[in-house]
Amino acid sequence: MNDYVLVAAGVLAGPVIGGLVSGADRIITARVQARVGPPLFQPFYDVAKLLGKEAVVVNVWQAFCAYAYLAASVMAVVLFFLRSDLLLIFFTQAVGALFLVGGALTSTSPYSQIGAHRELLQILSYEPLLVFVIVGIYLETHSFKIADILKWPEPLLLKLPFLFVVLGYALTIKLRKSPFDLSTCHHAHQELVKGLLTDYSGPFLALVEIAHWFDVVFLLCLCALFWATSWAGMAILLIVTYLLEIVIDNVTARLTWRWMLGYVWAMGLALSLVNLIWLYAAR
């Protein structure tokens, strides 16, 4: 396929798929809670409205950070569509995550500050897990390049089941779902207001939201690699995984960062080790 088409697909996939997933998420969550929920396109309406608002900043570098966050997240998805190096894509999306934190840190509001630090702890929790997942994929397919990984004849899920669970932890944190929605989430926090996003507003908040959609798409793509041999398998895997995320979000309560760090590292490390040793032994 032509590279330009892939780039365009990557740039479009973020807002379209990310926004739709977000809309579907809100409807399903509402139904689970016996509410009707917003229309499917509500996330788009929200973002459009935010984009039309007056630009208000606490620190002008927030604008810089919001744009840099979006740029890095778009870049990560585009690189994924270009079937580039998985580890490099991971580092690229990490750039976005850090600029988001950076923007919050430029404000002196304790809500932003504490939100930013909690976000750093979330990054600290999930980053090693994503590295282990990528290493696991490499050990199985002998390549970090998505182009080679897609050529692998059998679904990775069969050889990397525990690492898929590990990826699930990272996904839950990245999607800002309970019990890991410490830094900010879609609802207001009683103790942190909007946490990390407190001092982002108007168009900058809209950019942050769009960038988040790109992050969601990146993570879903990463999940999709686990059953890349058939479209049906891929779709089933993604839908089941996302539904599971929604269930987890609804049945758990937000917990502390101490618990998150301890639990995610312990479980993530243990599961990764089991799966990695398995792969080493199979070699």
234 near another protein, judged by CB under 8 A: no
CA 53 to chain centre: 26
245 near another protein, judged by CB under 8 A: no
Query: How many residues line the site for another protein (CB under 8 A)?
Result: 69
Residue whose C-alpha is closest to residue 196's, from 208, 207, 183, 209? 183
144 near another protein, judged by CB under 8 A: yes
60 near another protein, judged by CB under 8 A: yes
Is the CB of residue 12 less than 8 Å from the CB of residue 81? Answer: no
114 near another protein, judged by CB under 8 A: yes
Contacts for 12-15: CB closer than 8 Å, 24+ residues apart: 13/77, 13/81, 13/217, 14/73, 14/74, 14/77, 14/210, 14/213, 14/214, 14/217, 15/210, 15/213, 15/214
Binding string to another protein for residues 190 to 209, with x set by CB under 8 A, is what? Answer: ---x----xx----------
Residue whose C-alpha is closest to residue 215's, from 100, 46, 58? 100
247 near another protein, judged by CB under 8 A: no
- DSSP secondary structure string, 105-133? HTS--HHHHHHHHHHHHHHHHHHHHHHHH
Nearest-angstrom CA–CA distance, 260 and 122: 8
160 near another protein, judged by CB under 8 A: no
- Considering beta carbons, is residue 86 or 223 the nearer one to another protein? 86
Least Å distance, CB 101 to another protein, is 6
Nearest-angstrom CA–CA distance, 151 and 91: 23
- DSSP secondary structure string, 157-174? GGT-HHHHHHHHHHHHHH
Least Å distance, CB 96 to another protein, is 10
Q: Which of 91, 189, 233, 252 binds another protein (CB under 8 A)?
A: 91
Question: What token pair was written down for 36?
Answer: 């009707």
Q: Which of 5, 8, 48, 55 binds another protein (CB under 8 A)?
A: 55
Nearest-angstrom CA–CA distance, 188 and 137: 37
Least Å distance, CB 143 to another protein, is 4
Least Å distance, CB 114 to another protein, is 6
184 near another protein, judged by CB under 8 A: no
Least Å distance, CB 17 to another protein, is 22
98 near another protein, judged by CB under 8 A: yes
* Chain residues 119-138 in contact with another protein, contact rule CB under 8 A: 120-121, 123-124, 127-128, 131-132, 135, 138
54 near another protein, judged by CB under 8 A: yes
Q: Going by C-beta distance under 8 Å and a sequence separation of 6 or more, which residues neighbour residue 35?
A: none
Q: Which of 72, 185, 210, 219 binds another protein (CB under 8 A)?
A: 72
Residue 159: count of CB within 10 angstroms of its CB: 20
Nearest-angstrom CA–CA distance, 128 and 120: 13
Which spans of this chain sit near another protein (rule: CB under 8 A)?
54-68, 71-72, 75, 84-85, 87-88, 91-92, 94-95, 98, 101-102, 104-114, 116-117, 120-121, 123-124, 127-128, 131-132, 135, 138-139, 142-145, 148, 193, 198-199, 261, 265, 269, 272-273, 276-277, 280
